[in-house]
Amino acid sequence: MKQPVLEVRDLKTHFFSRAGVVPAVDGVSFSVNAGEVLGLVGESGSGKSVTGYSIMGLVDPPGRILGGSVLFEGKDITKLPEADWRQLRGNRIAMVFQDPMMTLNPVLRVGTQMVETIVAHKKMPGRQAQQRARDVLGMVGIPSPEERLSAYPHQFSGGMRQRVAIAIALLLEPALIIADEPTTALDVTIQAQILSEIQKLIGEHGTSLIWITHDLSVIAGLAHRLAVMYAGRIVETGDVDDVLRAPLHPYTRGLIGCVPSSNRRGQLLQQIPGMTPNLLNLPSGCAFQARCSRADGACTAPPPLFTRASAGGAYCFHPHTGDGA
């Protein structure tokens, strides 16, 4: 079997705030194979973004990676010195953030920012770097890329800015791209444009992708595999088809039921009662027990992994296993 591009094992990232220790990511494990799209799904505060930052080595104090390992192409990168990190970041692993207004430098031309990225990693004459920047800009579907290189970020619309951010991520043909809710701030039509570009590009280059989102409907069309996070832990993994068709974990099932869908028009949506728990004060055992209809006394112990026949599984004492309940 091929070695996965990225393997995260028992990753723990905690924030040491004044109010106490926040276990934002608490024992997360997953892997991404070459050319695979992994959807990381969860609500706000579930730790999905912090997982992305931890892989990129972008966790700032008071946050700290306490334990676990992140194997990128077989090497543990959590303990790399900063100098080695700089070789990796942007070059082999790239990230696309949610808000393209905040991630581009407003006082530098787009071309300058792109060339800067190339020159930081590769010895390349300026003209050639310029050429490469123009090509990639054209690749992500920006019209007349030659002229747009000398434009400033504010001269682009939101969708175009996100394309620039994606272009910068693609510049050096990384092995892995982490995309943190890149289409959440965009309109439906623009979101569809970005999704179609992304789908095409990763298909052509064999890039692996981690797509972080709260929107199950985006993931349904894009990802191969899915990992659902709740309160800092992964509660369910599996192939997209399996997870969406037959969710094992009550939380995944609840999430899917929450999505307004045409075949339930006019009826009440199934809702998950209560709200996401405070990470400062998590119950022992399964974090979902307070909102779960299946919970009982057993749930105060750490839930076991129930494996699915095909791939993946769920951490739950009472998984939905086709008994119709």
Partner 1 sequence: MKSNNPSAISLRGVSRRFGQPANIFKRAQRSLKRLRGVPVRNDVVFAVNNVDFDVMQGEVVGLVGESGCGKSTLARLAAGILPPSEGKVLFRGTDLRTLDRAEMKDVKLKIQLIFQNPHASLNPRLRAADIVGEAPLCHGLVSRADYESYVDTQFLRAGLDPKLKRRYPHQFSGGQRQRLGIARALAVQPEVLVCDEAVAALDVSIQAQILNLFMELRSQFSLTYLFISHDLGVVEHLADRVAVMYLGRIIEEAPVEELFSRAQHPYTQALLAERPSIEGRGRRFVAIKGELPSPLNPPTGCHFHPRCPLAMPRCAQEAPQLREIAPNHRSACHLNDTA
Contacting positions for partner 1 (CB under 8 A): 43-44, 157, 159-160, 187-193, 195-197, 199, 214-218, 220-222, 240-241, 244, 254-262, 264-266, 268-273, 275-276
Closer Cβ to partner 1, 225 or 318, answer by number: 225
Closer Cβ to partner 1, 71 or 190, answer by number: 190
Q: Which helix (H) or strand (E) holds 83?
A: helix 82-88
166-205 burial: b if 16+ Cβ within 10 Å, else e: bbbbbbbebbbbbbbbbbebbeeebbebbbebbeebbeee
Integer-rounded Cα Rg, in Å, for the chain is: 21
Residue 245 class from Cβ within 10 Å (0-12 exposed, 13-18 middle, 19+ buried)? Answer: exposed
The DSSP letter of residue 155 is G
- Separation between Cα atoms, residue 105 and residue 72, nearest integer Å: 28
CB atoms < 10 A from the CB of 68, how many? 19
Closer Cβ to partner 1, 95 or 194, answer by number: 194
**What's the min distance (Å) between Cβ of 38 and partner 1?**
14
Closer Cβ to partner 1, 274 or 304, answer by number: 274
**What's the min distance (Å) between Cβ of 127 and partner 1?**
31
- The strand order across the sheet containing 63-72 reads 20-32, 6-17, 63-72, 75-76
**What's the min distance (Å) between Cβ of 17 and partner 1?**
17
**What's the min distance (Å) between Cβ of 200 and partner 1?**
9
Residue carrying the six token digits 């581009």: 104
**What's the min distance (Å) between Cβ of 129 and partner 1?**
29
Closer Cβ to partner 1, 69 or 184, answer by number: 184
**What's the min distance (Å) between Cβ of 220 and partner 1?**
5
- Separation between Cα atoms, residue 201 and residue 177, nearest integer Å: 11
Closer Cβ to partner 1, 128 or 270, answer by number: 270
